[in-house]
Amino acid sequence: MATQEITYREAAREALRAALHNDERVFLMGEDVGRYGGPYAVSLGLLEEFGPDRIRDTPLSESAFVGAGIGAALGGMRPIVEIMTVNFSLLAADQIINTAATYLHMSGGQFNVPLVIRMATGAGFQLAAQHSHSLEGWYAHIPGLKIVTPATLEDVRGMLPTALADPDPVLIFEHLALYNRKGQLVEDAGPVDIDRARVRRQGTAVSLITYGNSLWKCIEAAEQLAGEGIDAEVVDLRSLRPLDDQTIMASVRKTRRAVIVDEGWRSGSLSAEIAARIHEQAFYELDAPVVRLCSEEVPIPYAKHLEEAALPQAEKIVRAVRELLGT
């Protein structure tokens, strides 16, 4: 099967292009998605290809254009709403949480909201505290939403068509640090599931459970640990709501140890939810307490050395595993 070298950004663009070609109900809307080509150049060239009815630049009002997307979804369209960064999604939290997530329930099952919202998340590019936080774990708290975090080229290409086919709201979180990542992708890559985790590296000594850009830090850490004779398994959550308990527990039962790596803050985090589920479902299979490695409890700093220090890094993961194993 033929493959092509492509970036994460280009794979995301190909997903958008295919969706627009395949379904006339699909359109993209958001800040700077048209003439500018998207805040991260994901939609570059799509305005020229599909025109302003399908690629819609919006005013700088997240509440307004997310609300418009909800209305379009209720009216039979398949909108893809792009929010520049997860921090700015808080300006549309009422629309997302109080309307999109609740409409099916509050209508007695009469009205679905087939809305897809894409947004950038995460830190690592000195964009400071108002553009760098990882708040996807907050949205994973909300019934009525599906939360997915593509970390690979295959997933960023394949999750969008699956999300568009879903009758309920799906939020896709794309980590900033992944857009320039290169890799091989089959030329006819298609839809993938959006509700199952995947084991990206098999291992027997410890389970590294993570998602998004932290996946690649965990893989780097696992390779370093392998040189020390420690065989780490790496689990890519992919979906934060629903969480794939089956895959998580199968890995933990095999390795008997778990380190959860989460770029969100530790207090009230997604990592806490996963740790609780492991203790509820696999407590007697554990040989050691679950370890959580999260961002420092500070607004993400602007200074490069402080930003790096605030985030989970491969060397921190290696150190946490050594401490867990007592090596």
- Of 313, 323, 273, 277, the C-alpha closest to 293 is 313
Instruction: Please give the Cα distance from 276 to 68 (Å, whole number).
Output: 38
**Active-site pick, 14, 62, 82, 174:** 62
User: Taking a C-beta distance cutoff of 8 angstroms, is the pair 117, 73 a contact?
Assistant: no
List the beta bridge partners of residue 265: 295
Listed in order, strand segments (DSSP E) in the chain are 3-7, 26-30, 55-57, 78-83, 116-121, 146-148, 170-175, 182-186, 198-201, 206-210, 232-236, 239-241, 258-265, 291-295
Integer Rg of the chain from CA: 20
**Active-site pick, 131, 154, 233, 263:** 131
Query: If DSSP codes are grouped into helix, strand and coil, which group holds residue 39?
Result: coil
Q: 300-308, long-range: CB within 8 Å, 24+ apart, which pairs?
A: 300/123, 300/128, 300/129, 300/132, 300/133, 301/128, 301/129, 302/126, 302/128, 302/129, 303/126, 304/126, 307/123, 307/124, 307/126, 307/132, 308/124
User: Taking a C-beta distance cutoff of 8 angstroms, is the pair 119, 138 a contact?
Assistant: no
For the question of residue 131 being annotated catalytic, the response is: yes
Q: Which residues lie closer than 8 Å to 18 by C-beta, 6 or more apart?
A: 161
For the question of residue 154 being annotated catalytic, the response is: no
User: Taking a C-beta distance cutoff of 8 angstroms, is the pair 14, 47 a contact?
Assistant: no
User: Measured in Å, how far apart are the chain's first and last C-alpha atoms?
Assistant: 43
Catalytic residues: 62, 131
